């Protein structure tokens, strides 16, 4: 029995009158990829940009606006990304870190501040919409070393534990008193229900608000 291996047959090359076989799918994809890469590389090497002027402008950065507002009685003018919340403006741009970022979704009240005397969740309020507004934060309540009456009431009633929610609780309490929703403990609890205290100091918080409202 012969052990000699036969050589593989080589397909004959097409003759002059015969057409070349159609390229395979793999050959077509490889060729297309190579040509496309060459076009892109040529554009980059040649210094040309494939992006239009609008795309180039968008790539430079998000749109920003200049906003001027009074914060704790001081006029402040800053340029911010149009998506910046009032909370981030206060904390990141103005260094007022008393307002806390809890849930960042308007559910805990830790970021509560007063805008033109009204309570707002600063994490849900766009800074660029507050042109000319008057903003009061926890840092703006005291008069020098003299605490605001509600701040003093929180101390007197021991109305805090970890203290993280306390700035928002106090600002919400100040707003609640201004709005006149302090006739009963039940009314105070209802109108301050958006402020969460995970330490459970609600009874003492209500007492502090009642104490301050009674001094008006």
pLDDT for the residue 39: 46
pLDDT tens-digit profile of 120-130?
999 999 999 99
pLDDT for the residue 40: 46
Residues of the chain with pLDDT under 50: 1-3, 39-40, 44-45, 49
Sign of CA dihedral 131, 133, 136, 139: positive
pLDDT tens-digit profile of 32-72?
655 555 544 555 445 554 556 555 555 677 899 999 999 99
Rounded alpha-carbon distances, angstroms, from residue 84 to 76, 117, 126, 210: 15, 21, 6, 35
CA–CA gap between residue 192 and residue 112 (Å, rounded): 11
pLDDT for the residue 62: 86
Q: Are 164 and 102 in contact (CB under 8 A)?
A: yes
CA–CA gap between residue 5 and residue 9 (Å, rounded): 12
Identify each DSSP E strand in the chain by its residue range.
Answer: 64-71, 74-81, 112-115, 118-121, 134-136
């Amino acid at each position: 029995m012969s052990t000699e291996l036969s050589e593989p047959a080589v397909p004959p090359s097409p003759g002059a009158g015969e057409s070349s076989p159609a390229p395979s799918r793999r050959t077509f994809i490889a060729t297309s990829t190579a040509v496309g890469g060459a076009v892109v590389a040529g554009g980059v090497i040649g210094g040309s940009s494939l992006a239009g002027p609008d795309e180039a402008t968008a790539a430079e950065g998000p749109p920003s606006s200049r906003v001027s507002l009074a914060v704790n009685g001081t006029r402040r003018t800053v340029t911010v990304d149009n998506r910046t919340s009032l909370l981030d403006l206060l904390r990141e741009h103005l260094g007022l870190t008393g307002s806390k970022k809890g849930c960042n979704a308007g559910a805990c009240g830790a970021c509560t501040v007063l805008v033109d005397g009204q309570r707002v969740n600063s994490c849900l309020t766009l800074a660029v919409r507050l042109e000319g507004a008057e903003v009061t934060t926890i840092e703006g309540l005291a008069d020098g070393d003299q605490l605001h009456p509600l701040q003093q009431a929180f101390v007197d009633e021991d109305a805090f534990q970890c203290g993280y929610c306390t700035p928002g609780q106090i600002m919400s309490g100040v707003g609640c008193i201004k709005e006149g929703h302090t006739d009963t403990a039940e009314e105070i609890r209802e109108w301050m229900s958006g402020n969460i205290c995970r330490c459970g100091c609600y009874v003492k918080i209500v007492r502090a608000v009642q104490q301050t409202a009674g001094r008006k």
